[in-house]
A and B are shown apart, each in its own frame.
Chain A
Amino acid sequence: MSSPQNSFSLRKIVYDPKIRGLFFQTILFALLLYFFYSIITNTVENLQSRGIPIGFGFLDNASGFPVSFKLISYITSDSNAKLILVGLLNTLFVAVLGIITATILGLIFGVMRLSKNSIISAIATVYIEVLRNIPLLVQILLLYYGVLKTLPLAKDSLSFLGIFFANIKGISVPTISFGSAETPFIISIIVALIIMVALRLWSRKRQEKTGQQFPATKIGFAILIGLPLLILIASGWPVEVSIPELGRFSLKGGMTISPEFIALYLALSIYTSAFIAETVRAGIMSVSHGQTEASDSLGLPRNKTLNLIIIPQALRVIIPPLTSQYLNLTKNSSLAVAIGYTDLFASAGGVLNITGQALELIAITMTFYLLFSLLTSMFMNWYNSRIKLVER
């Protein structure tokens, strides 16, 4: 017969919620570990038994995959890794431009929808409701074939001033190259920009202290133009302009922005702008009407009321949902594959098709999208905390 004391303490341990919890959590954790372990080993085993190699060695192999729209130089003998980089940059390019355009359009239509003028607000309402309710893929295809159908064939290119051209193969613009002075030229622009910012900060400080004003903006722009100009003159004006001209099939020279990019960029911007417009509207409506009245009674004009009173307060409500719209736009850009724009998803898909390294490539693609999303969120959170109400 066990002593009551003993059985009591055993009981205590069995019924101690903390210990019991710990016990089951350990079991669950072990099971989970085992679960993932068996999935991974099984996968590896299966891949090996079918002769599918595992690992990231394929990234160094020549891709052989042609890409026409690219931001960095790339040829088919370059590596798979470079091909993925080309796609990644294409994704970032369309996403960043799309985000900027969508924000501007969204702001405009969001404010328009609140307008007292019923025609203006009706236009905004139709814009927002129509665009929000048509699937994005449909809009992309519609815009793409719309763009293709409206633009003329290469031999009948539309021309503006003889240097800009538009045809079914895209919009061709002249390009300027600076030959040997390319790098110094870019550096001089960066230096000028830094000087501009420094000048502004300094002049503002000085104004706060002494009340004297300084034409920082004007002088800043003068430096921005003057400094690079000086560099070019000093290096013997190696400026070359390449103007597009008609070849046998399409325009040669200059730079051509492909219709695939244009359609994707427009569709992403417009679609997302409709959601941003609603976010903006909600943000503005969240600012109590008393604020407007107070501002009015101070005699501030309408636009100042909006810029200085309403928008700063509305931003706090707008930023978090805005962030998720930005993330959506980036992720939605993977629909590019439907119209032949080589984004990250399409380039990784190209590599996948040639190498068959599905797991590795999906991991790479996911990591990049995740990274981009996390960076966007981090930036927006930082911005949000910067503009939050400072209570005095």
Chain B
Amino acid sequence: MNKLMTTAIAGVAFGLTAFTANAATLDDVKAKGFVQCGISQGLPGFSNPDSDGNWVGLDVDVCRAVAAAIFGDSEAVKYTPLSSKERFTALQSGEVDVLSRNTTWTMTRDANLGLNFAGVNYYDGQGFMVRKSLGVASTLELSGAAVCTQTGTTTELNIADYFLENGMEYEVVAFEKAAEVVAAYDAGRCDVYSTDASGLYANRLRLTNPDEHMVLPEIISKEPLGPVVRQGDDQWFNIVRWSLNAMINAEEMGITSANIDSKMGGKNPGVQRFLGETGTFGEMIGVPSDWAVNIVKQVGNYGESFDKHVGPDTPLAIARGVNALWSKGGILYAAPIR
């Protein structure tokens, strides 16, 4: 009977506490001492393990910026590699605090999945890669082709739309893991490999003979990629959004990890606000006043991060293009810190 009582009490206790999820992600994160960040299972340039097994990339830098803002330590991050199919469930269920995994901002995802996009850290578009030997010069010649892609992506939906729109036939073969897609395309199962253009450049390096393949000129969709958080926690949303904005604003103001110390105590009011020397910007979002300093010092500004991971001097060799600042011919534009 004693046993029965204990079970009953435990049952009641569990019933009361089960699923009483709390909204304050920041408190959780502070209590844990780190940010749990959802990333890809390996996409060079965006989130990929380096030779020492540390995750690096443009998407990883967003996670690191958030940790730098909160803890003053960009290393206070733990990573959860997620397939495209798993990612939203992982965020919804609270397995990760933020999802920074080349995820396209779409209306359904924003409005229907209980999630919010905190900004855009890379403007992408969907492209197609084929074997040079096929002699194809345009996507409009692809009628009847087999296309390899990943499940749970905007890619597979865009393909359906595009081929339908142009009255072309197609066969889609969709795999759960990026590695499987690449292997199947490499083996010749598909004539075409389609994903975000950035992903094409990254995964081309994984093919047996990268030089035998080419990316077709057409871009068939808009893929604004950005970090995602759960809906309903505005404070956390603000922290992620403004950590990214800080990186972009730093580039615009010419603040880099190398020169930030020399900017301290200067007279430019905008820079003073950025550095936390005036105003209470950190306090507004619930982080220390030197939050932006820590982001730039430890992670760098957006331009530095871009050049380091995907820029012209990396194997991906992606030009800034639309991802340049609005003031330099691109569309990258962050709201001001004021």
A24 at the B interface (CB under 8 A) = yes
Please report which residues of chain B, range 71-113, place their CB below 8 angstroms from some CB of chain A when the two chains form the complex: 84-85, 88-89, 92, 108-109, 111-113
Question: With A34-B12, A337-B176 as given contacts, are A52 and B112 in contact (CB-CB < 8 Å)?
Answer: yes
A46 to B94, alpha carbons, bound, how many Å?
12
What separation, in Å, do the CA atoms of A311 and B333 have in the docked complex?
Answer: 77
CB of A249 within 8 A of CB of B157, answer: no
**Known A-B contacts A51-B232, A76-B164, A145-B183; A46 and B174 likewise in contact (beta carbons under 8 Å):** no
Whether B19 contacts A50 by the Cβ 8 Å rule is: no
| Complexed CA–CA distance, A66 and B153 (Å) | 12
Q: How many A-B residue pairs have CB under 8 A?
A: 140
Q: Is the CB of A148 within 8 A of B187?
A: yes
CA A248 – CA B8 in complex, angstroms?
Answer: 69
CB contacts (< 8 Å) of B188 on chain A: these are 148, 153, 168
- Among A25-33, A173-181, A230-238, the stretch that binds chain B is A25-33
Binary interface profile of B, 136-148, with partner A (CB < 8 Å = 1, else 0)? 0000011111100
Which B residues lie within 8 Å of A355 (CB)? Answer: 108, 112
CB-defined interface of B1-15 with A at 8 Å, one 1/0 digit per residue? 100100010011011
Task: State whether the Cβ of B27 lies closer than 8 Å to any Cβ in chain A.
Answer: no
| B189 part of interface (Cβ distance < 8 Å) | yes
Contact across chains for A354 and B187 when beta carbons are under 8 A apart: no
Given A153-B188, A260-B173, A356-B88, CB of A51 within 8 Å of CB of B114: yes
Determine whether A35 belongs to the interface, using a CB cutoff of 8 Å to chain B: yes
B172 touches A68 (CB 8 A): yes
Interface contact A39-B187, CB-CB below 8 Å = no
- In the complex, the answer to whether A31 meets B92 with C-beta atoms within 8 Å is no
Whether B189 contacts A259 by the Cβ 8 Å rule is yes
Chain A residue at smallest Cβ distance from B142: A249
Q: Which residues of A contact B317 (CB under 8 A)?
A: none
Q: Which residues of A contact B144 (CB under 8 A)?
A: 247-250, 252
CB neighbors of B among A278-334 (8 A): none
Contact of A356 (CB < 8 Å), options: B113, B146, B184 = B113
Q: A65 and B173 in contact (CB under 8 A), knowing A42-B20, A50-B232? A: no
Known: A28-B8, A52-B92. A354 touches B108 (CB 8 A): yes
Q: Is A353 an interface residue (CB 8 A)?
A: yes
Chain B residues, CB < 8 A from A68:
171-173
Contact of A42 among B8, B19, B173, B189 (CB under 8 A): B19
Interface string of A35-51 (1 = CB under 8 A from B): 10011001100110111
- Asked if B15 and A39 make an inter-chain contact with CB atoms under 8 angstroms apart, the answer reads yes
- Do B89 and A358 touch (CB < 8 A)? yes
Q: Which of B141-193 contact A (CB under 8 A)?
A: 141-146, 151-152, 156-157, 159-161, 164, 170-177, 180, 183-184, 187-189, 191
Check: B31 CB closer than 8 A to any chain A CB: no
User: Would B172 and A338 count as touching, CB distance under 8 A?
Assistant: no
A-B contact pairs, 19 of them (CB 8 A): A34-B12, A38-B16, A38-B19, A47-B114, A50-B231, A51-B231, A51-B232, A52-B113, A53-B112, A64-B161, A76-B160, A148-B184, A168-B189, A249-B144, A258-B173, A338-B176, A338-B177, A339-B175, A340-B174
- Beyond contacts A249-B146, A340-B180: 4 other A-B pairs, Cβ-Cβ < 8 A, are A39-B18, A52-B112, A52-B114, A356-B112
A-B residue pairs, 6 tightest by C-beta: A50-B114, A42-B19, A356-B113, A353-B152, A52-B114, A66-B160
Where the two chains meet, the residues of B that have a C-beta atom closer than 8 Å to any C-beta of A are: 1, 4, 8, 11-12, 14-16, 18-21, 84-85, 88-89, 92, 108-109, 111-114, 134, 141-146, 151-152, 156-157, 159-161, 164, 170-177, 180, 183-184, 187-189, 191, 230-232
